[in-house]
Amino acid sequence: MGRSFLIVLSITALAALFVPVTASAAVNEDGDFQIWNQDVIAVGITENVTATMDTMVRFGDDASRLWYHHVDVGLVFKVTDWMNIKPSYRHKFVWCMGHSPDGTPPCQCPGTEDTWQGINNPSINVILSKTLEPIKASNNCRFSYWDFDDAFQKKDRWFYRNILTVMSSESYSPLKLKPFVREDFFYDCEEGEINRNRLSLGLAVGDCGLDAVKPSVYFMWQASKGGEWVDNYIGGVDLTIKP
């Protein structure tokens, strides 16, 4: 397992070399480099029902500051061989800066002190999957409601999120590596527009020495629209645990 994680972390470090060299960027500003980690536990309840819990942390400001974490719980219902339905509830915590790094407001939460603020985020996921040799494709159609704490000064709203993943159905090397590409966009139903897009390239590790643990590593380019579009670059390491 140790060797596998060293390989995963090395790939993440190599991916970081492709990030455009810019001046130091504050959290989520244009050019900010971040490190994300998501850990998922999936436990089978019946043959067709699985309980899931996941946590995620994100480090921004060139990976120097923890600015986001969430806890998510859900149930996956297998409807057919190619479709699952997953209701879930996610509570997000965002480090809500009342001022930008140079001292001028606003940043994420105008008029507040620097503090953690929450977003209540229930959702329903319709997950479609199909193997078409030599690839396996899955598409998660997520409908979610974002209930912001007052400090954000944002109207609560619905989002549609579409997460398309295309992965090799063949594995390579003793680690059983499977390359994948993921396209992920957010449609803001309140504004009637796409305001975030993520494109990821990664590797899923099929054999890390523990049968129940499946790591993956990726490099992501994210474009987000606030007033103007800004680009962030993310190196990510995820773990899926199925006891």
Between 96 and 24, whose confidence is greater?
A: 96
The pLDDT-based confidence of 51 (bands split at 50, 70, 90) is: very high
The pLDDT tens digits for 102-115 are: 444 335 665 556 78
pLDDT in tens, 125-182: 999 999 999 999 999 999 999 999 888 888 999 999 999 999 999 998 899 999 999 9
How many C-alpha atoms does 8 have within 13 Å on its Cβ side?
A: 25
> CA-to-CA distance for 117 and 9, rounded, in angstroms?
31
Q: Which fold does the domain 2-241 belong to in CATH?
A: Porin (2.40.160)
Distance CA 213, CA 11 (A): 18
Read off the pLDDT of each residue in 50-64 and give the average, rounded to a whole number: 95
Average pLDDT of the chain is 86
DSSP for 80-147 reads ETTEEEEEEEEEEEEEE-SS-TTSPSPSSSTTS-SEEEEEEEEEEEEEEEEEETTEEEEEEEEEEEEE
What Rg do the C-alpha atoms of the chain give, in angstroms?
A: 19
| Predicted structure pTM score | 0.86
What pLDDT was estimated at residue 226? 77
